[in-house]
Amino acid sequence: MTIVGGSAHFPSWRGVLEEYREFLPVTASTPVITLLEGGTPLVPAPRLSERVGARVLLKVEGANPTGSFKDRGMTVAISKAAEEGARAVVCASTGNTSASAAAFARRAGLTCAVLIPEGHIALGKLAQALIHGARVLQLRGNFDQALTIVRQLSERAPVTVVNSVNPFRIEGQKSAAFETVDVLGDAPDALCIPVGNAGNITAYWKGYLEFKEAGRSTRLPRMLGFQAAGAAPIVVGHPVEHPDTVATAIRIGNPASWYGATSAASESGGGISAVSDEEILDAYRFLASEEAVFCEPASAASVAGLLKLGLPDGLGGSATIVCVLTGHGLKDPDIAISQISVPTVVDAELQAVLAELAL
């Protein structure tokens, strides 16, 4: 089947699997299950650049088909599951993985079951999993407990786990690193990224290493990962039993790819640090009001971290820094509305509107 696509950045974009086939574990017989994910914009952030004192760009992953970076990994994980003859896929999720798994599973005609922590998943994400027909179970527990059960489930039932413990997820997600190199002409000097289960920072680092190895870039970025202070196991150095943060997407106390994150940070001369909920929400509002980019709270952790740390040591005004904005702001309308004042109600009369707007 010929895929005809397109994105603002790459006119005839064919999706992650076709664009980066030579770097992915697929063969000519692998079915291509795609929603034309990837090819997301790298948007200049002039106000943020001014504050930081270097060129800062935003990798807007909310522009993916289900509104988060998860689609990059899911196209590969679901294509491989289909190739291997799987009938059902399962995942634990703080929301975005479940939304993406539900959509790609539908596309492939597979059954999808998801386990989410009751009461701690953003409304938009829950809506997505449900509308795409996934079997959604709300667990009386947190993400870490859900992931443990999912892993046990895969030993008892004929299901494929599509969390990032599935290596095909990491393979697909490294495409975001490839894209930053393809657009910038080389790797950035630093990459700022939120860290939850730590699959994405692992994937970006793998992508940068592979592109350098292949001669597609000449350098490697410093990897700067950021956890929410109430859910910062890697920063404190031990699992957190009761993680808590407003950024529900990264409300994780025992990341599966812990070692991947610490390797990326240490091998690249970067680090993993914590940002408070207040810092996350400040960055979240700043991005929306100053850069006109609406991301979800977890995504804003990358920018909160950059604003907190400032220009990394050794980098000057000519440095290029990429902040990954992992998911769309519309995913979590409740938080957005809690951050602004409730709109004024007026009578349905021109005079009343004029008086209130005072234009």
**If binding is defined by CB under 6 A, does position 302 make contact with ligand F0G?**
no
Decide: helix, strand or coil at residue 217.
coil
Nearest-approach distance from CB 157 to ligand F0G, in angstroms: 20
> Taking each helix axis from N to C terminus, what angle separates 96-108 and 123-131, rounded to the nearest 10 degrees?
10
| Closer residue to ligand F0G, CB minimum distance, 70 or 106 | 70
H or E, element range at 137:
strand 135-139
Residue matched to tokens 């990897």: 223
Nearest-approach distance from CB 28 to ligand F0G, in angstroms: 30
Give per-residue burial for 186-212: e unless 16+ CB within 10 Å, then b. Answer: bbbbbbbbbbbbbbbbbbbbbbbbbbb
Q: Which of 296, 307, 320, 329 binds ligand F0G (CB under 6 A)?
A: 296
| Closer residue to ligand F0G, CB minimum distance, 164 or 268 | 164
Which residues within the stretch 125-144 sit at the binding site for ligand F0G (CB under 6 A)?
none
H or E, element range at 91:
strand 88-92
Nearest-approach distance from CB 47 to ligand F0G, in angstroms: 22
- The CA-atom distances, in angstroms, between 209 and each of 38, 125, 212, 249 are 19, 32, 5, 27
| Closer residue to ligand F0G, CB minimum distance, 153 or 315 | 153
| Closer residue to ligand F0G, CB minimum distance, 55 or 70 | 70
**If binding is defined by CB under 6 A, does position 253 make contact with ligand F0G?**
no
**If binding is defined by CB under 6 A, does position 326 make contact with ligand F0G?**
yes
Q: How many residues bind ligand F0G (CB under 6 A)?
A: 22
Q: In what order do the strands lie in the sheet with 42-44?
A: 42-44, 55-60, 320-325, 190-194, 222-228, 271-275
Whole-number Å distance between alpha carbons of 36 and 88: 22
Residue span 155-174 as binding mask against ligand F0G, x where in contact by CB under 6 A, dash where not? ---------x----------
Residue span 65-84 as binding mask against ligand F0G, x where in contact by CB under 6 A, dash where not? ---x-x--------------
**If binding is defined by CB under 6 A, does position 298 make contact with ligand F0G?**
yes
| Closer residue to ligand F0G, CB minimum distance, 34 or 299 | 299
Query: Under a CB-based contact definition with an 8 Å cutoff, are residues 268 and 223 in contact?
Result: yes
Q: Quote the DSSP letter at residue 68.
A: B
Residue-level length of the chain = 359
Q: Which of 110, 126, 191, 195 binds ligand F0G (CB under 6 A)?
A: 195
- SS3 labels along 272-294: EEEECHHHHHHHHHHHHHHCCCC
Which residues within the stretch 85-114 sit at the binding site for ligand F0G (CB under 6 A)?
93-97
**If binding is defined by CB under 6 A, does position 249 make contact with ligand F0G?**
yes
Nearest-approach distance from CB 33 to ligand F0G, in angstroms: 19
Binding site for ligand F0G (CB under 6 A): 68, 70, 93-97, 164, 194-200, 249-250, 296, 298-299, 326-327
